[in-house]
């Protein structure tokens, strides 16, 4: 058996007995899932795909892991100077949906991977609502390697319970960070979070990052070097919110979490990884996902502090 496949099989077996945490309750549709679903995929930079657990059948919304789509797309189209005039580059030290940071450190969000940062970047897209949604879906297809649908039930649930994100958006408008119709900006943001995929698609994006911006196994360039370095660096420092430091020290894998239970991670020069299981901890990270990533890092020696082998 290939060492990566063996590592994934063992990681899933080790994680399945973990029953801590639960589904995100503030988006009701996210609670209507199989709590035991657990899946992982690794896509190497030469294009090999390895999967374990429920990967063949387990679909989920990408939630905040899809913030990488709008960040990477805008970095490609407008460059770092334009993007980082809107959002910062520092860890917030607060929860992903914090309003307090905008009040004390504003006017702009601390970084593009908290809710305020992603909403601010969605507010920079131009054109009609349908054109902005088309931009999101176009960049999602480019980065995930195929068309990614929106889960209409989750989108409706996001709309109906998204008052905290509405508060963030109106605060950003008050601060002059976003202009135009707040509801349109939120529709783009909610749609971004409601993109629906499996771990094989989610691992494509991180494999592009691990490959230095090239499509894994195909060789053509998807992202510029400058975009890759900015995105991976922000994943390392900010992608797991206020558990980013603990995660990076434990695994050495820059990562981005989502409250559906997905975590996408980069093993630079090696592979892209995606894990998903809906039991999340108080900081929005998948309990089983953390366990699986830790096992992969240890068993394959993929901590970024170790040499590529």
Whether 228 is a known active-site residue: answer: no
Query: Whole-angstrom Cα distance, residue 86 to residue 101?
Result: 15
Marked catalytic residue, from 12, 87, 211, 241: 241
Whether 65 is a known active-site residue: answer: no
Marked catalytic residue, from 67, 83, 87, 114: 67
Q: Strand 262-267 and strand 255-257: pairing?
A: antiparallel
Listed in sequence order, the residues at least 6 apart from 153 whose beta carbon sits closer than 8 Å to its beta carbon are 29
Whether 83 is a known active-site residue: answer: no
Q: Strand 49-53 and strand 60-61: pairing?
A: unpaired
C-alpha 172: how far from chain center:
22
C-alpha 100: how far from chain center:
23
Query: Whole-angstrom Cα distance, residue 129 to residue 182?
Result: 11
Q: Which two tokens stand for residue 140?
A: 């999602």
Marked catalytic residue, from 33, 69, 94, 189: 189
Q: Which two tokens stand for residue 47?
A: 């294009």
**Listed residue (304, 32, 303, 51) closest to 202, CA to CA:** 51
Q: Which two tokens stand for residue 78?
A: 């407008």
Whether 189 is a known active-site residue: answer: yes
Marked catalytic residue, from 12, 39, 42, 64: 64
Running DSSP on this structure, what letter comes out for residue 275?
E
Cα-Cα-Cα-Cα dihedral sign, residues 134, 137, 143, 147 = negative
Q: What is the SS3 assignment for 136? A: helix
**CB of 121 closer than 8 Å to CB of 70:** yes
**CB of 264 closer than 8 Å to CB of 68:** yes
Query: Whole-angstrom Cα distance, residue 121 to residue 177?
Result: 9
User: What CA–CA distances, in Å, run from 29 to 32, 49, 61, 150, 156?
Assistant: 5, 30, 10, 14, 9
Whether 67 is a known active-site residue: answer: yes
Marked catalytic residue, from 12, 208, 259, 280: 259
Catalytic residues: 64, 67, 189, 241, 259
């Amino acid at each position: 058996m290939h060492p990566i496949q063996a590592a994934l099989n063992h990681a899933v077996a080790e994680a399945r007995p973990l029953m801590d945490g639960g589904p995100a309750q503030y988006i009701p549709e996210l609670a209507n899932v199989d709590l035991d679903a657990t899946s992982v995929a690794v896509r190497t930079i030469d294009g090999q795909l390895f999967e374990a657990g429920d990967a063949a059948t387990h679909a989920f919304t990408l939630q905040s892991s899809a913030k990488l789509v709008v960040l990477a797309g805008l970095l490609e189209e407008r460059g770092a100077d334009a993007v980082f005039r809107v959002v910062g580059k520092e860890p917030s030290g607060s929860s992903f949906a914090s309003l307090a940071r905008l009040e004390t450190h504003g006017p702009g969000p601390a970084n593009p991977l908290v809710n305020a940062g992603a909403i601010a970047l969605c507010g920079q897209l131009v054109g009609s609502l349908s054109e902005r949604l088309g931009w999101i879906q176009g960049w999602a297809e480019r980065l995930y390697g195929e068309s990614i649908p929106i889960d209409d039930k989750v989108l409706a649930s996001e709309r109906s319970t998204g008052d905290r994100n509405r508060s963030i958006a109106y605060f950003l408008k008050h601060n002059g960070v976003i202009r135009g119709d707040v509801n349109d900006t939120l529709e783009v943001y909610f749609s971004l979070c409601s993109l629906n995929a499996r771990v094989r698609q989610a691992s494509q994006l991180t494999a592009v990052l691990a490959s230095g911006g090239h499509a894994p196994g195909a060789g053509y360039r998807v992202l510029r070097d400058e975009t890759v370095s900015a995105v991976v660096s922000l994943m390392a420092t900010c992608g797991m919110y206020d558990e980013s430091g603990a995660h990076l020290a434990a695994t050495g894998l820059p990562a981005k979490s989502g409250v559906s239970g997905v975590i996408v991670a980069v093993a630079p020069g090696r592979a892209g990884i995606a894990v998903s299981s809906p039991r999340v901890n108080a900081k929005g990270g998948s309990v089983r996902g953390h366990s699986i990533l830790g096992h992969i890092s240890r068993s394959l020696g993929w901590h970024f502090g170790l040499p590529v082998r």
